[in-house]
Structure 1
Amino acid sequence: MNRIKNWKKQFAVIYTGQAFSILGSAAVQFAVIWWLTIQTESAITLTIASLVAFLPNMLIGPFAGVWIDRYNRRTVMILADGLVAVSSIILGAAFLLVETPPIWFIYIVLFLRGLGNTFHGPAMQAAIPMFVPADMLTKAGGWGNMIQSISNMMGPVLGAALMSFLPISSIMIVDILGAAFAIVCLLFVIIPDITQTNEKMSVLSDMKQGFIAMKANKPLMAVFSPMLLMTILYMPLGSLFPLLA
Structure 2
Amino acid sequence: MYIFRALKHRNYRLHFTGQAISLMGTWMQRIAVSWLVYRLTESAFILGLVSFVSLAPSLVLAPFIGNFVDRHNRYRIVLTTQFGLMLQAGALTLLILIGHYNVWWIGVLSFIQGVINTFDVTARQSLMVELVPEKADLPNAIALNSSAFNAARMLGPAVGGILLSNFGEAVCFGVNFVSFIAVLGSLFAMKLVERPVPRKQESAWQGLKEGFNYLRHSPHLSSLILLLGASSLLVIPYTTLLPVVAREMYNGDATIFSWFESAAGLGAMCGAIYMARLKAGANLRFRVMKAAGLFAFGILLLSFAAWLPIALISTMLAAMGMMVQNSSINTYIQTHAMPALRARAISYYIMAFQGIFPIGSLLIGALAQLWGIHYTLVFQGIAGALIALAFVIYIRQHITRRYIPVAD
Q: Alpha-carbon deviations, 1:155-176, whole Å to 9, x = none? A: 4333323212222111112211
Report deviation, 1:87. Answer: 1.1
TM-score, normalized by length of structure 2?
0.54
Query: Compared with structure 1, are the counterparts of its residues 145 and 194 closer, same or farther at alpha carbon in structure 2 (3 Å cutoff)?
Result: farther
Secondary structure, aligned partner of 1:164: helix
Q: Distance in 1 between matches of 2:207 and 2:8?
A: 29
Report deviation, 1:236. Answer: 4.5
Q: Please tell me whether the aligned partners of residues 18 and 186 of structure 2 are also in contact (alpha carbons under 8 angstroms).
A: yes
2:19 is matched with 18
Larger mean Cα displacement after TM superposition, 150-159 or 33-42? 150-159
Query: Compared with structure 1, are the counterparts of its residues 70 and 191 closer, same or farther at alpha carbon in structure 2 (3 Å cutoff)?
Result: farther
2:117 is matched with 117
Percent sequence identity is 23
In the alignment, structure 1 residue 72 sits paired with structure 2 residue 73: yes
Report deviation, 1:153. Answer: 4.7
Q: Distance in 2 between matches of 1:64 and 1:163?
A: 35
Q: Which amino acid aligns with 1:106?
A: I
2:302 is matched with none
Report deviation, 1:193. Answer: 4.0
Query: Compared with structure 1, are the counterparts of its residues 162 and 16 closer, same or farther at alpha carbon in structure 2 (3 Å cutoff)?
Result: same
Q: Distance in 2 between matches of 1:212 and 1:153?
A: 39
The gaps in structure 1 that reach 5 residues or longer are 1-5
Query: Compared with structure 1, are the counterparts of its residues 198 and 25 closer, same or farther at alpha carbon in structure 2 (3 Å cutoff)?
Result: closer
In the alignment, structure 1 residue 51 sits paired with structure 2 residue 52: yes
Report deviation, 1:137. Answer: 2.7
2:297 is matched with none
1:3 is matched with none
Query: Compared with structure 1, are the counterparts of its residues 222 and 58 closer, same or farther at alpha carbon in structure 2 (3 Å cutoff)?
Result: closer
Q: Please tell me whether the aligned partners of residues 73 and 191 of structure 1 are also in contact (alpha carbons under 8 angstroms).
A: no
Report deviation, 1:101. Answer: 0.9
Q: Which amino acid aligns with 1:158?
A: V
2:378 is matched with none
2:200 is matched with 199
Larger mean Cα displacement after TM superposition, 182-191 or 157-166? 157-166
Report deviation, 1:95. Answer: 0.6
1:108 is matched with 108
Secondary structure, aligned partner of 2:9: helix
Q: Alpha-carbon deviations, 1:92-151, whole Å to 9, x = none? A: 1111111x6122111111111112221222221111112422343333333333333433
Report deviation, 1:79. Answer: 1.5
Q: Alpha-carbon deviations, 1:218-241, whole Å to 9, x = none? A: 222232211111011135443232
Q: Distance in 2 between matches of 1:202 and 1:7?
A: 39
Report deviation, 1:69. Answer: 2.0
Secondary structure, aligned partner of 1:165: helix
Q: Please tell me whether the aligned partners of residues 21 and 178 of structure 1 are also in contact (alpha carbons under 8 angstroms).
A: yes
Q: Distance in 2 between matches of 1:88 and 1:230?
A: 29
Q: Distance in 1 between matches of 2:169 and 2:199?
A: 51
Structure 1 segment 135-174 matched on structure 2, within 5 A: 135-174=136-175
Query: Compared with structure 1, are the counterparts of its residues 151 and 206 closer, same or farther at alpha carbon in structure 2 (3 Å cutoff)?
Result: farther
Query: Compared with structure 1, are the counterparts of its residues 64 and 159 closer, same or farther at alpha carbon in structure 2 (3 Å cutoff)?
Result: farther
Larger mean Cα displacement after TM superposition, 140-149 or 64-73? 140-149
Q: Distance in 2 between matches of 1:206 and 1:58?
A: 16
1:9 is matched with 10
Query: Compared with structure 1, are the counterparts of its residues 207 and 150 closer, same or farther at alpha carbon in structure 2 (3 Å cutoff)?
Result: farther
Structure 1 segment 208-219 matched on structure 2, within 5 A: 208-219=209-220
Q: Please tell me whether the aligned partners of residues 28 and 173 of structure 2 are also in contact (alpha carbons under 8 angstroms).
A: no
The alignment covers a number of residue pairs equal to 239
2:225 is matched with 224
Q: Distance in 2 between matches of 1:206 and 1:109?
A: 29
Q: Which amino acid aligns with 2:65?
A: A
Q: Please tell me whether the aligned partners of residues 56 and 115 of structure 1 are also in contact (alpha carbons under 8 angstroms).
A: yes
The gaps in structure 2 that reach 5 residues or longer are 1-6, 247-408
2:278 is matched with none
